[in-house]
Amino acid sequence: MPLTGHTSTGTQPALPHKPRHVLVTGASGLIGSSIALQLLSLGHSVRLALRQQTHIKDWEETYGKMYEPGRIEYWTLERDMSEEGAFDDAVLGCDAVVHAASPMPGTLKDDPENEILKPAINGALSILRSAARSASVQSFVLTTSLSAFVDLQDLERDPHLTLTEDSWNKITYDQAVRLPPSPHRASLVYGASKALAERACWDYIEQKQPDMTFCTFGPAVALGRDRTPGVKTVSQLHSSVAAAAQVLFGDGELNPPAFVSLHDVAHAHALAATSFSHTTNGKRYLLIGHRASFDEVARIVGEKRPELKKLVKEKKGGEARGEYGWESGRVERDLGFKYQPLEEYVGEFADQVFELMHDAGQV
């Protein structure tokens, strides 16, 4: 599809040396929007692949005037993203691609194969092939998930499991299709889709050896400030941030395996996408900052924003899952940053929830 006529306006300092132009998918969601904003903060320009004109409007209204003309471009995806060549126009002129878009578990109705599995796998392969055919793309980063590294049921069967960057969720396509209806089926299918899509991409890289760097990031439950355009109420929060708010202040249930700072997730993607480094090429990165229960999260929220303490529900989702260990230091060694402390990014989450509730007259 052609680029829209929308470009951002406003003023910013001069661009840094060698700024990159990066295509980002999923920028109407939590992770994708965070990555796009982190790229912009580092001086790069972005092309956002979005499905709806309302998403473009939200971006323009929220961030359009913060950046100088040309820093933000919009490309509308009007075809099925799993179609071959669907992203050929989108990647033109881009130096790097970050593919963060993927069907979410909340979209599952009754057909795991066609609602989640096929779109995730074929969509990832479609944009990867488009990038590989492009003369300009030098770097490709795929957003996967902690659930691509482990079937979360495995943590219940073996609570002393140690996760590494070589760990895999071993579910097969046929097993995922045949998962029986249950309260956890959607999350299990989602985990399968992330693992199977990532495996398919690695197979393509191994077979075709495209002339670009490739790496993947699998974050745990990401918390922090949801900066997705259009968020004006707690009910408009996205993904894991929305789930955390629902657990703490509503009737949601979530037994988290681990947490990570949303900022760290975005920063890792941005650095890998724009460095064109052989240090990150061909590697999987597990992004885990902390193992914590929602009791611990609730304590930090209450300390950071005492006004919210009385609103936290008694039932908060149970203890952190298992006593498993993990090795996620590769990202610190290769990209040179330290994980943000739990208190800081839970505090950012608490600040945003308080601000939204205050604006709504709830606190």
**Can you spell out the DSSP letters for 305-324?**
-HHHHTTS-S----SPS-S-
Residue 164 placed within a domain: yes
Higher confidence at residue 17 or residue 239? 239
117, 177 Cβ separation under 8 angstroms: yes
Q: Domain containing 168 — which CATH number?
A: 3.40.50.720
The count of domains in the chain is: 1
Token pair, residue 311, equals 């609103």
- Report the C-alpha gap between 37 and 194 in whole angstroms: 23
Residue 302 placed within a domain: no
Residue 145 placed within a domain: yes
- Report the C-alpha gap between 303 and 312 in whole angstroms: 12
Residue 295 placed within a domain: no
Predicted confidence at residue 54, as pLDDT, reads 94
Predicted confidence at residue 17, as pLDDT, reads 42
Predicted confidence at residue 14, as pLDDT, reads 37
Token pair, residue 135, equals 């003369």
- Is residue 8 very low, low, confident or very high in pLDDT (cuts 50, 70, 90)? very low
* The residue type at 312: V
Residue 267 placed within a domain: yes
pLDDT tens by residue, 163-175: 899 999 999 999 9
pLDDT tens by residue, 148-191: 999 877 777 777 788 899 999 999 999 999 999 888 888 899 99
- Is residue 50 very low, low, confident or very high in pLDDT (cuts 50, 70, 90)? very high
Residue 193 placed within a domain: yes
